Each structure stands twice: as C-alpha cells, then as structure tokens.
Amino acid sequence: MGWGVRRLITSLVIVNKEVTPTRGMLYPRESETREVRSLDGLWNFVTSDEANPTQGVRDKWFSDDLSKVKDVIPMPVPASYNDITTDNTIRDHVGTVWYDRKFFVPKSWAKDQRVWLRFGSVHYEAFVWINGEMVVKHEMGHLPFEAEVTNFVKYGEENRITVMCDNALIQTTVPQGKISEVKKDGGVAIVQTYTFDFFNYAGIHRSVHLYTTPKTFIEEVEVTSDLEDSNSVGHVYYKVKVGGTASNEADSNLQIRVKLRNKESVTVANGTSDGDLKGALEVKNVKPWWPYLMHAEPGYLYQIELFLHTADNTLLDVYRLKVGIRTLTWNNTSFLINGQPVYLRGFGKHEDSDIRGKGLDFALLTRDMNLLKWIGANAYRTSHYPYSEESMQFADENGIMIIDECPSVDTDNYNQALLDKHKSSMEQLIHRDRNHPSVIMWSIANEPRTSPFQADSHFQFVANFTRALDGTRPVTAAIAVPSASDKAAKHLDIICFNRYNGWYSNPGKLDMITTHVVEEAITWNKKHNKPVMIGEYGADTIEGLHLLPAYIWSEEYQNELFSKHFKAFDILRKKEWFIGEFVWNFADFKTAQSITRVGGNKKGVFTRNRQPKATAHLLRKRYFALGRELDRCNLPEDLFLYITDATSTESRGKRETADL
Ligand code: GCB
C-alpha cells in the first residue's frame, strides 16, 4: 500500500501468468430497473506528509471526517487536484492525498436490490472506505473500478465516503517512474521523476456514481457485429453474463429477450437468448457504422435493449447500450472497414486542460469533437492512456476511429510485476471498451524501449494476450526505436512509428524531412511486411511567434514542416501498405518542468485553450482534400476563402483595354 510499500521486484525469468479477469463495470445507466446518482461535486481534501505517506492509514483517517485530522480544502470532483490551488506543494505533491464527502442513500434503495459504487478513474492508486470500512482498492489510472456497497451504506441516513489516492510511480507501475530523496533547503525532498512527456496529474479524474441493480442483474454484455451481402444485411451477436444469481435461479432458467432499435426508435430485430445467454440478431437493410467523411451518415448507432427474464416470465433487469454494426479486416497491405480500405488521418491527443488537468470536462470533450470534425480528421489515438468512457461514446456517435492505448508509456526495465500489470491494463481496457464501434485497434504501448532482449518476450506476451482477449481488432504500438534494433514490432499486426524529422533530428532543416520519412516507412514495411502508419510527427510552436524565413518554434516552421511531411505521405500513399498519418499533437499540453518545455509541450495544432494555430488551417485543407480524393466527401464552404474572382478580373481587364 502506498509507494513506500510497493516494491520493485526484478527477476531474470519472466513468465506469462494468468490475469484475473475484470467483472461487471457496465457504464452506469438508468432503466426501468436501475437508478443512478452522481457523487460529483466539491469534496474535502488534504495531503499527507510526503515523508510519511501511510500515516493516514495507520492513524485511521477514514474512521471519521478528514476535517477532524487536518484543515481540509474544497476539491472539485472530477478534476486533477494539481492545478486547482495556487500552492506548488499541492501541484507537485508526491504520494498520498485524501478526499471525503457526505452523501445520502434513499430509504427506497434498501429494498431488494444491490447498491454499487463506481469510479470512472482515479490516478494512480485508490483506496476507498464507506463509513470507515474499506470497500475497494484499485491500481491503475484512467480505468474504472467498482464495488458492491449494499451492506456498507446506511439507508435513509447520511454516509461518508473517504478516498486515499496515491500518485507515486515506480518501476513496477504502469506507467513507470522513479522516486528519490534529494537534499533541499532545510531538509530532504521526495522527488518523483518520469521519462514520459506529460504532467503526472492525479486525483479523482472521472465521475463517481452510486447506482442500483436488481439482486439478479445483467453484469456484463459483449457485442460484436458482422455484415454480409454487400453490407446490406447486418448481424449483431450478443453475450450476457448475469450476476447475483440466487441458488434457485441457475443461468439456464434465465433468458435475455433482446430488441434492436434504430435511430428512430423503430424495432428492427428481436430475439431470445440461448441457454448460455447469447444470441444473434439479423438486420435487413442495415445502416453500417461508417467513419466520419467516409459516408453521408457516419457513426450510425442502433440501441440494443436487453431484458433479463426468469423462465416464468418475471422481468428482472433491463440494460440498454448503443451498438454500431461494422466489420474490420486487415492483411499485409491494408486495413479495411466494411470492406473499404481506410486511410487514417488524425492526431495523438491528451486529456489535458488548464485548471482541470486530466479531469473529465464535458465542455472540453464537446469542443474537441467539434474541432476534430472542423479539421476533417477521422481518427485519433488515446495517447498515452485510456480516455474517458464519455469520450468513447462521443467517438461512436461521430464516426471517429480510435486507436485505444493502454497506459504503458516508455516501457523499460522489464520485470515480472511490470508484465503482469501491463497485461492487466490491457485486460481492463478491453473489458471496458470492447463494445465501442469506434475502437479499431488496440495500442499496447507508446515508445517502449524495445532494443533490450527482454522486450521481445514482454511484447510477445502482451500482444498475444491482447489478441486472445479480442481477435476482432488488430494490435499495434507506437514504436520510436529504429527498426534495426527494435524487438517488438514483429509481434504487432500493424506497425506504427513515431519520428520527429526536422525537430529532434535535424532541427531547422526542412530539406531533411521528406526523404527520411519515406525511407523509414519503407524500411519498416520491408522488415515486417505489414501495414505501416506514422503515429507522431510535429514541431513545438509558440502561438503568435512568426519568423520568416521559417525558424524553429515559429508558426511558419510548423506549417512548412507539416507540408514536407505531407509530401512524404503522398509518396507513401501510392504504396498500398501506408495506412495513416497522425500529427503530434492535437493541442498544447502540460508536462513536467523542463528546460526544453516552455509552459509545457507546444506541438499542438490547437492551443491548450483549443484555438487554432496557423497550421490548423493548412492541416484542415489536407484532411478534407484526402477525404475528397479517397472518400468523395463534400468540402466545407469556408475551406478556401475568397481571394479573387479570376474570371471576372480577367474580363474586366479586357474591357478596360477595349475602352482605351
Ligand atoms: C514522443 C512521445 C510524446 C512526446 C513527443 C514530444 O515521441 O510519444 O509523448 O510528447 O514525443 O513532443 O517529444
């Protein structure tokens, strides 16, 4: 418990151990049989002494209000706690912090049902008590966890929830970090370092919900789909797991009745599950799920309604979720959706904003989706960790394709505990996101250090594990190690490489980009005979800095560097196996303090405040031009601003000459 207690375990022999499967975790939704209450809002907050991170546990701070132990301050949930105050000791705090709040549970919830407590995510490790009793702990940021609290809450009375959150990253956490003690004025400081390039924001990052289910309830739903007859007939396959079954209610006595409704709420298919609580639905004249700009009606979603019944026809539980009907296929040269080759054009992003840090913010989510559509992107990678469930739902609705990445970034110093946790992060991610049509690939790491020989088996285990959990999507990772020394890419289905020509290599040299990009992509393809895409390229750019001729950090330089890459991508597009281009980054974002970062990483095409830099306009022209060429999309009217009416100018010129 706590960084002080998590130990570094290194071993020379690393084995492929079983991962305990996640259970439940359906997104909390109301229905005829379920109620949902939010615990978001202002909580009380205290930090612990960095040199004594487990003091609160030993002294049982959870057994009474935190305000009895320390002076509390208000802290919004969801949000990172780091940038809320003006105090750098809170921003840079290493180790444990504590939250608590009071809440009521209605009396009506006491009857014949279960009560659950669910966190969308807490970074990095969370310990949760209700009324002084531990109800759940969870290690791994960016992923949900929950616990049944039926017997822990008081009904019709006030309750207290206490959360201890530990942000410490060590060599066996995902992602990894290091903690050291460094002499400071008047003492010793506990210092957290990490090699990854984003601020280690922490806290209760996503919503906290209480929700009810019936005693016997729909615990898990897995949906897959298929298309046939030139995409005119669709199939939806569903599989349900029931939880809380009483001994007299074996699964075989239960059944799922299913309805599939289209956007107009018309039932287009229905059915009843088999004895294993699974089944298939056929949809005639189906509307497949298409990516944005690939079809006039992108992101088409149906709603599947699942009714859990007993054999004697009693309705026990109802759960609804949106599903998209689509196929994914890939081979050595291409990646296809609904049988059509896809060219991915998008971004690496971050969950990051001023004040909120990595806290869920619907205004930001909506703005980002609007900007993605404005710029004509059709995809993004959830670099470098899973994004909120709400953002995944947004991507489903809008036809934005997602490369879904686990939190393993700069993976290094391979060891057994790291492998176990890395696999667990993939398991939790797939469990959470497997039903999203927007998810088109799993990314098992960003820029792992893949030259050491241990990387070979580590990535073989993680890639095979991922494929075993979900064979319907290809596996990738963003690799930065040169292909000659990399030992992981051979385990992937699609190769993704990150490279900063004209920035980290040959800064300022705009004539040293195009050929390098083309040659490297060809090298990757030759070595592995698999589809290749570029996962990151870009240049730090200070908004409003203009320098002509182009000079690094200026808006002109970002523009020209992008243009040189576009040229390379167009050469590569002629080779079938080059399947996508991803800019680094969608928006400027905060990093650890460093002499190479001016207020954070400035490679955004948008500012941190989500306004366009000059390059956003250039990129928009390219992304829409690609959409036009490849998918025959319509161009927005404001894509090319009026400059001159060449024809009328010409005729006016002639008239003026005639007048002479
Ligand atoms: C990378 C990393 C990304 C960094 C980026 C940069 O290769 O994947 O996390 O932010 O480079 O700007 O240095």
**Over the stretch 455-472, which tens digit does the pLDDT of each residue have?**
999 999 999 999 999 999
Sign of the dihedral through C-alpha 550, 553, 555, 559: positive
For a ligand 1 pocket test, name from 536, 589, 590 the mutation site with the most ligand atoms within 8 angstroms of its C-beta: 536
Look at residues 323, 351, 368 and tell me which one is the last residue of a structural domain.
Answer: 323
Q: How far is the CA of 368 from the centre of ligand 1 (A)?
A: 20
Rounded Cα distance, 274 and 280, in Å: 10
Write the CA distances from 582 to 346, 349, 387, 542, 573, integer angstroms. 5, 10, 17, 20, 14
Look at residues 155, 184, 214 and tell me which one is the last residue of a structural domain.
Answer: 214
Question: By alpha-carbon position, which residue is closest to atom 5 of ligand 1?
Answer: 197
Atom of ligand 1 nearest to the CA of 589: 10
pLDDT category at 247 given cuts 50, 70, 90 is low
pLDDT category at 256 given cuts 50, 70, 90 is very high
Q: How far is the CA of 541 from the centre of ligand 1 (A)?
A: 14
Residues 6+ apart with CB under 8 A from 75: 42, 43, 44, 45, 81, 84, 99, 203
Report which of residues 10 and 168 the model is more confident about.
168
Q: How far is the CA of 168 from the centre of ligand 1 (A)?
A: 22
Over residues 537-557, the mean pLDDT reads 98
The answer to whether the CB of 408 is under 6 A from ligand 1 is no
Instruction: With beta carbons less than 8 A apart as the criterion, state whether 562 and 615 touch.
Output: yes
CA angle 415, 454, 451 (to 5 degrees): 125
Over residues 217-241, the mean pLDDT reads 97
User: What DSSP character marks residue 518?
Assistant: H
- Write down the pLDDT at residue 613: 98
Rounded Cα distance, 399 and 279, in Å: 26
Atom of ligand 1 nearest to the CA of 447: 8
The answer to whether the CB of 480 is under 6 A from ligand 1 is yes
The answer to whether the CB of 136 is under 6 A from ligand 1 is no
- Write down the pLDDT at residue 248: 57
Same domain membership, residue 360 and residue 446: yes
Range of the domain at 606: 328-631
**Is 375 strand, coil or helix?**
helix
Cis peptide before 124 (omega within 30 of 0): yes
Query: Do the domain assignments include residue 646?
Result: no
Identify the weakest region by mean pLDDT among 113-117, 301-305, 337-341, 645-649. 645-649
- Write down the pLDDT at residue 10: 47
| Residue reference for tokens 């504590």 | 98
Query: Do the domain assignments include residue 235?
Result: yes
Type and span of the H or E element at 417: helix 416-433
Question: By alpha-carbon position, which residue is closest to atom 6 of ligand 1?
Answer: 197
Longest distance between any two alpha carbons in the chain, whole Å: 103
The answer to whether the CB of 352 is under 6 A from ligand 1 is no
Q: How far is the CA of 343 from the centre of ligand 1 (A)?
A: 23
For a ligand 1 pocket test, name from 411, 601, 605, 608 the mutation site with the most ligand atoms within 8 angstroms of its C-beta: 601
The number of residues making up the chain comes to: 660
Atom of ligand 1 nearest to the CA of 446: 8
Q: How far is the CA of 524 from the centre of ligand 1 (A)?
A: 20
Query: Do the domain assignments include residue 29?
Result: no
| pLDDT of residue 249 exceeding 80 | no
Question: By alpha-carbon position, which residue is closest to atom 7 of ligand 1?
Answer: 498
The answer to whether the CB of 447 is under 6 A from ligand 1 is yes
| pLDDT of residue 654 exceeding 50 | yes
Write the CA distances from 642 to 75, 612, 616, 645, integer angstroms. 49, 20, 18, 8
Same domain membership, residue 552 and residue 605: yes
- Name the residue type at position 386: P
Query: Do the domain assignments include residue 553?
Result: yes
Cis peptide before 21 (omega within 30 of 0): no
Instruction: With beta carbons less than 8 A apart as the criterion, state whether 355 and 84 touch.
Output: yes
Same domain membership, residue 372 and residue 385: yes
Of the residues 447, 520, 536, 555, which is catalytic? 447
**Is 630 strand, coil or helix?**
helix
For a ligand 1 pocket test, name from 447, 586, 590 the mutation site with the most ligand atoms within 8 angstroms of its C-beta: 447
The values of phi and psi at residue 145, to 5°, are -150, 160
The answer to whether the CB of 584 is under 6 A from ligand 1 is yes
Instruction: With beta carbons less than 8 A apart as the criterion, state whether 633 and 627 touch.
Output: yes
Same domain membership, residue 379 and residue 305: no
Query: Do the domain assignments include residue 444?
Result: yes
Question: By alpha-carbon position, which residue is closest to atom 9 of ligand 1?
Answer: 197
Same domain membership, residue 286 and residue 265: yes
Same domain membership, residue 618 and residue 502: yes
Strands 145-148 and 133-139: unpaired
Rounded Cα distance, 537 and 585, in Å: 8
Look at residues 152, 181, 214 and tell me which one is the last residue of a structural domain.
Answer: 214
Rounded Cα distance, 116 and 153, in Å: 10
Same domain membership, residue 210 and residue 221: no
Q: How far is the CA of 384 from the centre of ligand 1 (A)?
A: 10
Query: Do the domain assignments include residue 92?
Result: yes
Atom of ligand 1 nearest to the CA of 196: 9
- Write down the pLDDT at residue 13: 78
The answer to whether the CB of 498 is under 6 A from ligand 1 is yes
CA angle 470, 471, 473 (to 5 degrees): 85
The answer to whether the CB of 197 is under 6 A from ligand 1 is yes
Rounded Cα distance, 324 and 206, in Å: 25
Same domain membership, residue 620 and residue 609: yes
Report which of residues 122 and 657 the model is more confident about.
122
Within 10 angstroms of residue 280's Cβ, the number of other Cβ atoms is: 16
Q: How far is the CA of 408 from the centre of ligand 1 (A)?
A: 14
Q: How far is the CA of 197 from the centre of ligand 1 (A)?
A: 6
Q: How far is the CA of 538 from the centre of ligand 1 (A)?
A: 9
Rounded Cα distance, 383 and 403, in Å: 9
Instruction: With beta carbons less than 8 A apart as the criterion, state whether 290 and 337 touch.
Output: yes
Rounded Cα distance, 551 and 556, in Å: 7
Same domain membership, residue 502 and residue 462: yes
Burial class of residue 333, CB neighbours in 10 A (0-12, 13-18, 19+): middle
pLDDT category at 245 given cuts 50, 70, 90 is confident
Cis peptide before 262 (omega within 30 of 0): no
What pLDDT digit, counting tens, does each position of 377-394 carry?
A: 999 999 999 999 999 999
Query: Do the domain assignments include residue 120?
Result: yes
| pLDDT of residue 623 exceeding 70 | yes
| pLDDT of residue 132 exceeding 80 | yes
The domain spanning residue 381 has which CATH number? 3.20.20.80
- Write down the pLDDT at residue 311: 85
Atom of ligand 1 nearest to the CA of 383: 9
Q: How far is the CA of 445 from the centre of ligand 1 (A)?
A: 13
Question: By alpha-carbon position, which residue is closest to atom 10 of ligand 1?
Answer: 197
Same domain membership, residue 160 and residue 51: yes
Structure tokens at 209: 């919900």
Atom of ligand 1 nearest to the CA of 538: 12
Rounded Cα distance, 651 and 552, in Å: 43
What pLDDT digit, counting tens, does each position of 163-218 carry?
A: 999 999 999 999 999 999 999 999 999 999 999 999 999 999 999 999 999 999 99
What pLDDT digit, counting tens, does each position of 60-115 carry?
A: 999 999 999 999 999 999 999 999 999 999 999 999 999 999 999 999 999 999 99
The answer to whether the CB of 603 is under 6 A from ligand 1 is yes
> Catalytic: 447?
yes
Query: What mean pLDDT, rounded, does the chain reach?
Result: 95
- Name the residue type at position 243: G
Over residues 120-146, the mean pLDDT reads 98
Type and span of the H or E element at 566: helix 555-573
The answer to whether the CB of 33 is under 6 A from ligand 1 is no
Rounded Cα distance, 511 and 440, in Å: 35
Q: How many domains does one find in the chain?
A: 3
Q: How far is the CA of 383 from the centre of ligand 1 (A)?
A: 10
Same domain membership, residue 365 and residue 267: no
Query: Do the domain assignments include residue 2?
Result: no
The answer to whether the CB of 446 is under 6 A from ligand 1 is yes
The answer to whether the CB of 601 is under 6 A from ligand 1 is yes
Same domain membership, residue 362 and residue 281: no
The domain spanning residue 223 has which CATH number? 2.60.40.10
For a ligand 1 pocket test, name from 505, 584, 594, 597 the mutation site with the most ligand atoms within 8 angstroms of its C-beta: 584
Residues 6+ apart with CB under 8 A from 375: 605, 616, 619, 620, 623
The domain spanning residue 132 has which CATH number? 2.60.120.260
- Write down the pLDDT at residue 645: 86
Determine what percent of the chain is predicted with pLDDT higher than 70.
95
Over residues 498-511, the mean pLDDT reads 98
